[in-house]
Amino acid sequence: MIREQVCLMKMVFRWFGAHDDSISLEQIGQIPGCTGIFGSLPQYAPGEVWPENDIRALVQTVHDAGLSIEVIESVNVHEDIKMGLPSRDRYIDAYIQTIRNLAQCGIKVIVYNFMPVFDWLRTDLARPLPDHSTVMYYDDAMLQNVSPEQIVEQTSSKSNGFSLPGWEPERLAELRQVLVRYESIDEDKLLENYRYFLNAVIPVCEQAGVRMAVHPDDPAWPVFGIPRIAHTQEQLERILQLYDSPANSLCFCTGSFGSSPQNDVPAALRHFGERQRIACVHVRNIKFLGHKKFQEAAHLSACGSLDLYEIMKVLCDVGFDGWLRPDHGRMIWGERARPGYGLYDRALGLTYLNGLWEAICKSHHCFYLETSVN
């Protein structure tokens, strides 16, 4: 059957800003087929308003480099909102102001997560492979022997001097106190707090023309006994139903969601993609090594446990027209950069994903729009 589908997926790259990234916009612009970035303002702590002037300056810098910026990552939700404390209203008001400021500057998608205390978590940020590249690694058994404070210490001391998303010192200063509070918060309570947040922010997004895109839990299970509610297809569906609106959508991360072999990545992508609830996608591969044990891998299907061809094919099938970026890569060729966010392996990943995309679209008779390259 000949289809006349226009494949408008936009291939971009994550960039942490001029002061917090080892990579320049010029380097990103030289990756063939890369048209823009997912940006962020890492200097603002959760609960702080991102000023419109700063957002506008970032957008201008990116545009001056000939790239687009329509997705913002890591507008982090203050812990008091997740814990449902009385102070949450103040932080929700600040979040709403940030949403309005981002929308004023042309941002279309805001990526965030609702993971209590810990954002993404690894037990080793630089595990050597036989080819002398290094990858991020997770072994749940190793967490049994360390305290939450130790894992924070380990992670920040091995980040090559870069800030890591979700590991803001401000947020972790009162770690022990926060952990005690979570002892009385179960999944249902967390979900209620989540509903309260969405009820406040989604109408603002609808009005402002932006979409909230929740990133799944990483890894896809609870850690240190703290509840997590965004790591199975059913849980993600439940979150979308908390406020049923296109503005309440997903940032589907194949490596996070796929860290559990119980999760069927292509099936979930198809489910949410057909319902138009995927605003943007992080695509990467991981390799299962045992029970709750995995390492990150090069993007190529043969290098890991996920089928990247199948993943890209589903995105083509559902007519995905949002933003897609390669996610964490290995550290290769002697590069020193923020763990997971070096230039070389992610650029290889992007090129590979674009190759899959072109082949799939052309062989499925979609109108494949080739990115013009200067």
Q: By CB under 5 A, tell whether 253 contacts Mn ion.
A: yes
What is the Cα Rg of the chain in Å? Answer: 19
Q: By C-beta, is 80 or 327 nearer to Mn ion? A: 327
Q: Respond yes or no: is residue 132 known to be catalytic.
A: no
Q: Which stretch binds Mn ion (CB under 5 A): 27-35, 75-83, 274-282, 304-312?
A: 274-282
CB of 215 to Mn ion, least distance (A): 6
Q: Respond yes or no: is residue 282 known to be catalytic.
A: yes
Q: Respond yes or no: is residue 299 known to be catalytic.
A: no
Q: CA dist 231 to 239, 327, 360, Å?
A: 11, 18, 28
Q: Which stretch binds Mn ion (CB under 5 A): 91-99, 108-116, 319-327, 337-345?
A: 319-327
Q: Which stretch binds Mn ion (CB under 5 A): 6-14, 67-75, 251-259, 261-269?
A: 251-259
Q: How many residues bind Mn ion (CB under 5 A)?
A: 3
Q: By CB under 5 A, tell whether 214 contacts Mn ion.
A: no
Q: Which stretch binds Mn ion (CB under 5 A): 100-108, 160-168, 275-283, 351-359?
A: 275-283
Q: By CB under 5 A, tell whether 178 contacts Mn ion.
A: no
Q: Respond yes or no: is residue 196 known to be catalytic.
A: no
Q: Respond yes or no: is residue 328 known to be catalytic.
A: yes
Q: By CB under 5 A, tell whether 348 contacts Mn ion.
A: no
Q: By C-beta, is 40 or 101 nearer to Mn ion? A: 40
Q: By CB under 5 A, tell whether 338 contacts Mn ion.
A: no
The residue nearest Mn ion at its CB is 253
Q: By CB under 5 A, tell whether 213 contacts Mn ion.
A: no
Q: By CB under 5 A, tell whether 299 contacts Mn ion.
A: no
Q: Which stretch binds Mn ion (CB under 5 A): 160-168, 219-227, 327-335, 362-370?
A: 327-335
CB of 112 to Mn ion, least distance (A): 12
Catalytic pick among 327, 361, 366, 368:
327
Catalytic pick among 341, 345, 361, 366:
341
Catalytic pick among 328, 352, 361, 366:
328
Q: By CB under 5 A, tell whether 204 contacts Mn ion.
A: no
Residues 6+ apart with CB under 8 A from 153: none
Q: By CB under 5 A, tell whether 282 contacts Mn ion.
A: yes
- In the 3-class helix/strand/coil scheme, how is the chain assigned residue by residue? CCCCCEECCEEEEECCCCCCCCCCHHHHHCCCCCCEEEECCCCCCCCCCCCHHHHHHHHHHHHHCCCEEEEECCCCCCHHHHHCCCCHHHHHHHHHHHHHHHHHCCCCEEEECCCCCCCCCCCEEEEECCCCCEEEEEEHHHHCCCCHHHHHHHHHHCCCCCCCCCCCHHHHCCHHHHHHHHCCCCHHHHHHHHHHHHHHHHHHHHHHCCEEEECCCCCCCCCCCCCCCCCCHHHHHHHHHHCCCCCEEEEEEHHHHCCCCCCCHHHHHHHHHHCCCEEEEEECEEEEEECCEEEEECCCHHHCCCCHHHHHHHHHHCCCCCEEEECCCCECCCCCCCCCCCCHHHHHHHHHHHHHHHHHHHHCCCEECCCCCC
Q: Respond yes or no: is residue 364 known to be catalytic.
A: no
Binding site for Mn ion (CB under 5 A): 253, 282, 327
Which residues are known catalytic residues? 215, 253, 282, 327-328, 341
